[in-house]
């Protein structure tokens, strides 16, 4: 039977949350995740894990949630308007990493599973979504190529052309239209995944979640030894402002949480602890900061 099973997905995501936390604690050496279980009567429950002020990481949020309701918010049905107002249940995990060292990129990953039911319809409608992306402050070609090669490799067992499709979807999604600027160097993004049945889709979602740390940590290990000064820190904080802009204006997960009455502390755990804005900032010509805009915050074939 290829029947969708939300409890099977939930079991995997809770295990994945623990595995990610253990791996990132090991990398940091001193930082410890605080685990905060929460409940929202009539809406759901979850567990937020946060690491603050570590050796490597300024802040990490690893969230799990299991939510439900009688009317699916519109932000969860951007590509499925026919499901607006349906009863729904959803489980998901999200990871947002904000490192101390500006030479280490920030990164984000999430996996989510929705199941909805229309009135007078006995067959549930379900789908997976998620992906991961990389947001450097100072770019290194070899890091971005490694990131995308890893994304390509995990996609290959599930079908030719999958990486190209989901890479483009990521580029299109993580785009700040009001800035005419990419948020970072992309990765994978997928939604409404239900083709080939539940088991096939679940295996792909699992592959994305399980490969995240194995793809991110090698990049971190290379860059954590680089020395940095106030100049790099100021630029990091400035670029974090873009991260906030995207999350508040465009991010469907943030908007879903806000408009479904989600837990605010868990929703905003994705925000960096510190950021800054600067009026009409322009990087110095020929500088590493200019190189980020010129060579990395662009859509290109990194392979």
Q: Which residue has the higher pLDDT, 188 or 196?
A: 188
Q: Is 196 annotated as a binding residue?
A: no
Confidence of residue 222 (pLDDT cuts 50, 70, 90): very high
Rg (CA), the chain: 19
108 as an active site residue: the answer is: yes
CB contact burial 225-245 (16+ within 10 A = b; e otherwise): eeebeeebeebbbbbbebbeb
Q: Do 47 and 35 contact (CB within 8 A), yes or no?
A: yes
Residues 225-272 have pLDDT tens digits of 999 999 999 999 999 999 999 999 998 888 878 877 778 888 888 999
Contact (Cβ atoms closer than 8 angstroms) between residue 243 and residue 272:
yes
Higher pLDDT, 43 or 179: 179
Counting every residue written for the chain, the total comes to: 303
| Multiple choice CATH, 6-296, 3.40.1500.10, 3.30.70.1560, 3.40.640.10, 3.10.20.30 | 3.40.1500.10
Confirm whether residue 111 is marked as ligand binding: yes
* Token pair in block for residue 303: 């392979």
Compare 3 and 136 and report the one with higher pLDDT.
136
Other Cβ atoms within 10 Å of 139 Cβ, number? 20
To the question of whether residue 112 is assigned a binding role by annotation, the answer is yes
The answer to whether the Cα torsion of 129, 273, 243, 162 is positive or negative is negative
Q: Is the dihedral of CA 38, 111, 10, 98 positive or negative?
A: negative
pLDDT tens column, 53-104:
999 999 999 999 999 888 776 666 566 677 777 888 999 999 999 999 999 9
Catalytic residue, candidates 66, 108, 200, 259:
108
Q: Lowest mean pLDDT of 14-18, 125-129, 132-136, 261-265, name the range.
A: 261-265
Does 104 appear as a known binding residue? no
Q: CB–CB of 187/146 below 8 Å?
A: no
pLDDT digits (tens, 9 = 90+) for 6-60: 999 999 999 999 999 999 999 999 999 999 999 988 889 999 999 999 999 999 9
Q: Residue 91: CB partners within 8 Å, gap ≥ 6?
A: 6, 9, 10, 13, 64, 65, 66, 67, 112, 113
pLDDT score of 69 = 84
Query: 81-85, 200-204, 211-215: which range is least confident on average?
Result: 81-85
Hey, how many other C-beta atoms are within 10 angstroms of the C-beta on 134?
27
219 or 81, higher pLDDT: 219
């Amino acid at each position: 039977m290829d029947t969708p099973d939300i409890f099977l997905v939930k079991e995997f995501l809770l295990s994945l949350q623990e595995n990610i936390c253990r791996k990132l604690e090991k990398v940091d050496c001193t930082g410890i995740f605080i685990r905060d279980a929460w409940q929202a009567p009539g809406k759901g429950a979850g567990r937020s894990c946060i690491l603050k002020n570590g050796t490597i990481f300024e802040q990490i949020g690893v969230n799990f949630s299991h939510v439900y309701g009688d009317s699916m918010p519109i932000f969860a049905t951007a590509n499925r308007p026919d499901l607006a107002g349906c009863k729904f249940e959803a489980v998901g995990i999200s990871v947002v990493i904000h490192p101390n060292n500006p030479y280490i990129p920030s990164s984000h990953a999430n996996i989510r599973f929705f199941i909805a039911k229309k009135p007078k319809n006995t067959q549930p409608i379900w789908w997976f979504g998620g992906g991961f992306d990389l947001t450097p402050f100072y770019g290194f070609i070899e890091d971005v190529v490694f990131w995308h090669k890893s994304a390509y490799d995990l996609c290959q067992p599930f079908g030719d052309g999958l990486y190209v499709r989901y890479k483009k979807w990521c580029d299109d999604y993580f785009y700040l239209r009001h800035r005419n600027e990419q948020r970072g160097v992309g990765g994978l993004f997928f939604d409404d995944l239900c083709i080939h049945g539940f088991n096939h889709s679940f295996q792909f979602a699992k592959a994305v979640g399980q490969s995240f740390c194995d793809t991110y940590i090698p990049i971190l290990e290379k860059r954590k030894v680089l020395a940095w000064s106030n100049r790099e820190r100021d630029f990091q904080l400035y670029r974090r402002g873009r991260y906030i802009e995207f999350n508040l204006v465009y991010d469907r997960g943030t908007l879903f949480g806000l408009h479904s009455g989600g837990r605010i502390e868990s929703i905003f755990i994705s925000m960096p602890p510190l950021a800054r804005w600067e009026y009409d900032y322009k990087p110095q010509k020929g500088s590493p900061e200019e190189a980020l805009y010129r060579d990395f915050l662009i859509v290109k074939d990194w392979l």
